[in-house]
Chains A and B, each alone.
Chain A
Amino acid sequence: MAPATVLRGRAFVLGLLALAACSKSTSPGGSGMSSVAPKPDPRVGLKAGMWDAGQASWNLRMVSTTPPSEKFAGVTNSDISFLRNYAIQGNYNGFQVWDISNPAKPTLTLGFLCPASQSDVSVYKNLLFVSGEGNSGRVDCGGQGVGDTVSADRLRGIRIFDATDIANPKYIANVQTCRGSHTHTVVEDPRDKENVYIYVSGSAGVRSPNELPGCSRLAPDKDPNSSLFRIEVIKVPLANPAEAKIVTSPRIFQDLTAPPEHGENPVDVAESKKAAAEARAKGGYTAEIQGQEYVLPPQMIDPMLDSIAKSHGGTKPNGADSAALRTALPAMIQARFGAPPAPGAVRPGPTQCHDITVYPAIALAGGACGGYGLLLDIKDTPNPKRIGAVADSNFSYWHSATFNNDGTKILFSDEWGGGGQPKCRTIDKPEWGADAIFTLVDGKMVFQSYYKMPAPQTKFENCVAHNGSLIPIPGRDVMVQAWYQGGISVFDWTDPKKPTEIAFYDRGPVDSTKMGNGGSWSVYWYNGYMISSEISRGLDIFELTPSAWISQNEIDAAKSVHLDYFNAQDQPKITWAPSYALSGAYLDQLARSGGLSSSRVADAQKALADSKLMVGGAQKNALLSLSKSLEADASGAKDPAKVKTLANSLKDLAAQN
């Protein structure tokens, strides 16, 4: 009698807990277990203010916010890199090194004054690299600007520091480049342990050859040594980094002709088909060019009909002539379509890359270059080779790229307006200023969908897709991304056709009466936390909270990933050590998706929980037994692959015993 009562009691309590866990919370910014985003969106109508703006968050919480230190306040904070327990935050005045051992209370280790825009920072072992492209950056770190159009004082390129003692970095060298460095990417060559490489993306004006010999702003057909149409590769000898220099300038844009578009907007295609059908019904002539149907104008058709008529001695085209034209038209259009561009045309292709993200573990890089998203083979690190290119038929010009961890997807983001403009108003198209998601198979990129942070922002909030990184949740592709004053957005792009927002944070505008300077420049996941460089407000640190979209196990599995350093544009291959959180995460995903029947999920959850209470051989056997039964489930399950992944993870976990 007693056990039955106890059981009933426990079941009752468990039932209550389950109910509470799944209750829908509609409180604005609340962290209820609803998978439905709060409506109305709490990011709309937030109070303005620099230090006291209204805030809204969903499925994450702010751990700390730390204003910039004195010498950097009121100056734009830019990108961040991480080294051990330090966040190194770039600023147009130099960089700040924050000790984030206690994320609730970051402390300033060092503020290094050395103005340059944009001061993008990277780290590698004991080295620190800072990008400069603006005309006012000085080699001597002065803040007064340079003035002269040609000057030996100017720094446009990469500053190199020895940061063996991070509290006292030593400025040891500069590598000047012809177009400066808007951003740079550190690339490790697995075959070359003596050196590290830097891909430099310079997109600003070309310097005078009087300032830096060899720079040329002429097009390559006028000067084969043109500084346009190329990236620079710097080789940094680790034993002697002061000897760093440019070793190659790969022309990865060579021979990019007609942009391989991801396909016309389906609305456009439908419209053009409709117009063509209507024209034909009226006896008009149409032709298909690049997948779109064109109605050919009388000015074009009449002379052709006339010449057909004349060819048989007629003066006026008859029905047979029209028929003959219709037959011959497709071939004629094809032949004419191959005509070369008008004389005097500027050489086609982008002249620069904005950003390049490398993924050395799969020997690929994604380059956002002009109107193209490029795929590069980086096996030969100093000589990246272009192997693929896509363009956006909605005229987005991409600024950066991110791969998913498996290397089966690539995302390009369109920083429309350059980051200083409001592009998240209700009048702004969702395809513009957004992310474009592609699948990537055998070097071929295929467009799938767009993602844009969905909350409308005011016209006084600069907002557009900017920097972010993957959140290391096993079994899913989840990214956290900065949207300037649009805040930060966490989205799941596991299904490339249906990216979905699953967490967010936003503040009200800096100023409700005019465009203010603020917003998240970058937000990255690093060793358990999401760290955002807020342009004006400083350093924001966030933590995921469990929700219907991300379980505690998934958060714990993500937090179990530890890196010694992190540069967002140098993607590491993420792997997960076996753990209860890892297996629990896969099981939670199967529950969420229905990939395994709910009764089997419940059984497995119980078995897993029970095994946790065991020790030694008993635990090992329990895990192996669960693994075996799941393997048997796989073939009948809706998601056999994930069930097998789960089964394998349990075997790995058992082996740890």
Chain B
Amino acid sequence: MKTAIQHTLRAVLAGLAIAAGRGAPAAAQSVASNTHPPYTPADAQFMTGMIGHHAQAVLIAGWAPTHGASPSILLLCERIVAGQGDEIDLMKRWLSDFGEPVPEGKAHYMSGMDMGDMDHGGMPGMLSQAQLEQLDAARGPEFDRLFLTFMIQHHKGAIVMVDKLFGTQGAGEEERSFRFASDVYADQTTEIDRMQKMLAALPPSGSGQ
């Protein structure tokens, strides 16, 4: 008897948590800790979405060594893999601490996959299947050029996500959420600037693909 009720309760609670993570109205539940500003569903959505966003960055930056990237691109990619990888862990911790479901944090990609409806129009700036395949096929200076172009697009998407967070009622006030979103903004705008300069400094591409 007791067990059945416990199961039911657990399921109900799990359902609530999932509902909260999937865009319950902003005016609905928020969870306060002590007297500190509560987090909102928008914060949880931001974290969840950004995990997927970062996972793609880690994937494509991880291609640099096998795709003939130049030394400075290799170094940049190493920093992105390390930095965004650690940030995925931070976001997972945040979600777990607040009892929210924790995504896996790994990008799944196979050349030739038919993504259908799930093609990553998902989060702003994310690469589509076609773009992923184009990048995966590139080597050497062509990889450099495409990587920088696509990662700039990717980073700009992250900025859009941060702006959206801060534009949402009550969101971005919980301490860790504010701190992390602000850091993403500062770091990625800096990297956009750096990548644009690297792109401008590349040898011009040849006759095109």
B79 within 8 A of A: yes
Cβ contact within 8 Å between B79 and A432: yes
Can you pick out 5 interface pairs between chain A and chain B where the beta carbons lie within 8 Å of each other? A143-B36, A145-B36, A341-B199, A350-B190, A420-B179
Q: Are A117 and B71 in contact (CB under 8 A)?
A: no
Is B166 touching A145 in the complex (CB atoms < 8 A)?
A: no
Which A residues are in CB contact (< 8 Å) with B187? 397, 418
Give Cα A204 to B141, complex, Å.
35
Whether the Cβ atoms of B86 and A418 lie closer than 8 Å is no
Q: For residues 384 through 427 of chain A, which have their beta carbon under 8 Å from a beta carbon of chain B?
A: 391, 393-395, 397, 416-418, 420-423, 427
**B199: shortest Cβ distance to chain A, in Å?**
7
Residue of B nearest to A301 (CB): B206
| CB pair B71 A292 closer than 8 Å | yes
CB of B186 within 8 A of CB of A354, answer: yes
Pick the 4 closest A-B CB pairs, nearest first. Answer: A299-B206, A145-B37, A268-B71, A300-B206
Do B86 and A290 have beta carbons less than 8 Å apart?
no
B residues in contact with A427, CB < 8 Å: 82
- Describe A's contact surface by its main secondary structure: loop
Report the separation of the CA atoms of residues A491 and B126 in the bound assembly, to the nearest whole angstrom: 43
Give Cα distance in the complex from A81 to B8, angstroms. 54
Where the two chains meet, the residues of A that have a C-beta atom closer than 8 Å to any C-beta of B are 74-76, 92, 115, 117, 133-136, 143-149, 182, 203-205, 217, 257-259, 264-265, 267-268, 271-272, 287, 289-290, 292, 294-303, 333, 336-337, 339-342, 345-346, 348-352, 354, 370-371, 391, 393-395, 397, 416-418, 420-423, 427-429, 432, 514-515
Least distance between B138 CB and chain A CB atoms (Å): 11
Which residues of B152-170 have CB atoms within 8 Å of chain A's CB atoms? 156, 162-163, 166-170
**What is the total of A-B residue contacts with beta carbons within 8 Å?**
186
B71 contacts which of A272, A333, A337 (Cβ < 8 Å)? A272
A371 and B204: CB pair below 8 A? Answer: no
Assuming A294-B203, A342-B199, what are 11 further A-B pairs, CB within 8 angstroms? A75-B36, A136-B174, A143-B36, A149-B166, A149-B169, A205-B163, A258-B200, A259-B194, A300-B141, A345-B200, A350-B190
Residue of A nearest to B200 (CB): A341
A149–B163 CA distance with the chains assembled, in angstroms: 12
Contacts of B201 in A (CB 8 A): 258, 289-290, 337
A-chain residues with CB within 8 Å of residue B78 when the two chains form the complex: 429
Chain A residues with Cβ below 8 Å from B82 are 427-429, 432
Q: State the CA gap A477–B173 with chains docked (Å).
A: 41
Specify the chain B residue showing the minimal Cβ separation from A394: B75
The answer to whether B206 and A297 have CB atoms under 8 Å apart is yes
Instruction: Tell me the chain B residues, 164-209 only, with Cβ under 8 Å from chain A.
Output: 166-170, 172-176, 178-183, 185-187, 189-194, 196-197, 199-201, 203-208
Query: Known contacts A117-B178, A145-B38, A299-B207: does B190 contact A135 (CB below 8 Å)?
Result: no
Give every chain A residue within 8 A of B196 (Cβ-Cβ).
341-342, 345-346, 348
A contact residues around B141 at 8 Å (CB)? 294, 296-297, 300
- B207:A136 contact, CB within 8 angstroms: no
- Shortest CB distance A522–B (Å): 17
Nearest CB of chain B from residue A116's CB, rounded to whole Å:
11
Q: Is the CB of A135 within 8 A of B192?
A: no
Interface digits, B22-43 against A, CB 8 Å rule (1 contact, 0 not)?
0000000000001111100000
- Picked from B75, B83, B140, B180, the residue with its CB within 8 Å of the CB of A265 is B75
- A135 and B35 within 8 A (CB): no
Assess whether B169 is in contact with A395, with CB atoms less than 8 Å apart.
no
Asked if A342 and B200 make an inter-chain contact with CB atoms under 8 angstroms apart, the answer reads: yes
Is B66 interfacial (CB 8 A cutoff)?
no
Q: How far is the CA of A352 from the CA of B78 in the complex (A)?
A: 25
Query: Which A residues are CB-close (under 8 A) to B207?
Result: 299-300, 302-303
Expressed in whole angstroms, the minimum distance between the Cβ of A396 and any Cβ of chain B is: 8
- A-side contacts of B204, CB under 8 Å: 300, 336, 339
Known: A117-B179, A292-B72, A294-B141. A420 touches B90 (CB 8 A): yes
Q: How far is the CB of A523 from chain B (nearest CB, A)?
A: 21
Closest CB of chain B to A485's CB: distance in Å? 14
Chain A neighbourhood of B191, CB < 8 A: 371, 397
Select from chain B the residue with minimum beta-carbon distance to A399.
Answer: B186
Alpha-carbon gap, A631 to B203, bound state (A)? 60
Asked if residues A134 and B190 are in contact (CB atoms below 8 Å), the reply is no
Expressed in whole angstroms, the Cα–Cα distance for A348 and B182 within the complex equals 20
Residues of chain B within 8 A (CB-CB) of A423 are: 86
Q: Who on chain B is nearest to A336 by CB?
A: B204
Docked-complex contact B179 and A395, CB < 8 angstroms: no
Please, which residue of chain B has its CB at the minimum distance from the CB of A142?
B35
- Is the Cβ of A134 less than 8 Å from the Cβ of B178? yes
Q: A149-B168, A203-B182, A205-B182 are in contact. Are A515 and B93 (CB under 8 A)?
A: yes
User: In the docked arrangement, what's the CA distance between A520 and B175, Å?
Assistant: 19
Indicate whether B133 reaches chain A with its CB closer than 8 angstroms: no
Residues 89 to 136 of chain B near chain A (Cβ within 8 Å):
90, 93
Residue in B87, B141, B173, B207 whose Cβ sees the most chain A Cβ within 10 Å: B173
Contact B175 A421 (CB under 8 A): no
Question: Given the complex of chains A and B, what is the CA–CA distance between A418 and B182 in angstroms?
Answer: 10
Contacts known (A299-B207, A341-B200); A395 close to B173, Cβ less than 8 A: no
Instruction: Please name all residues of chain B whose beta carbon is closer than 8 Å to the beta carbon of A264 when the two chains form the complex.
Output: 71-72
What residues on A are CB-neighbors of B205 within 8 Å? 299-300
Smallest CB separation, B82 vs chain A (Å): 7
B76 contacts partner chain A, Cβ-Cβ < 8 Å: yes
Chain B residues within 8 Å of A349, by CB: 193
Kindly state the separation between the CA atoms of A354 and B34 in the bound complex, as whole angstroms: 29
Interface centre among A204, A217, A295, A354 (most CB of B within 10 A): A204
Closest-by-CB residue of B relative to A265 is B75
Chain A residues whose CB sits within 8 angstroms of the CB of B38 once the complex forms: 145
Interface centre among A144, A264, A370, A515 (most CB of B within 10 A): A370
Contacts of A217 in B (CB 8 A): 163
By beta carbon, the residue of chain B nearest A182 is: B182
Partner of B169, one of A143, A147, A203, A289: A147
CA distance in complex: A391, B199 (Å) = 17
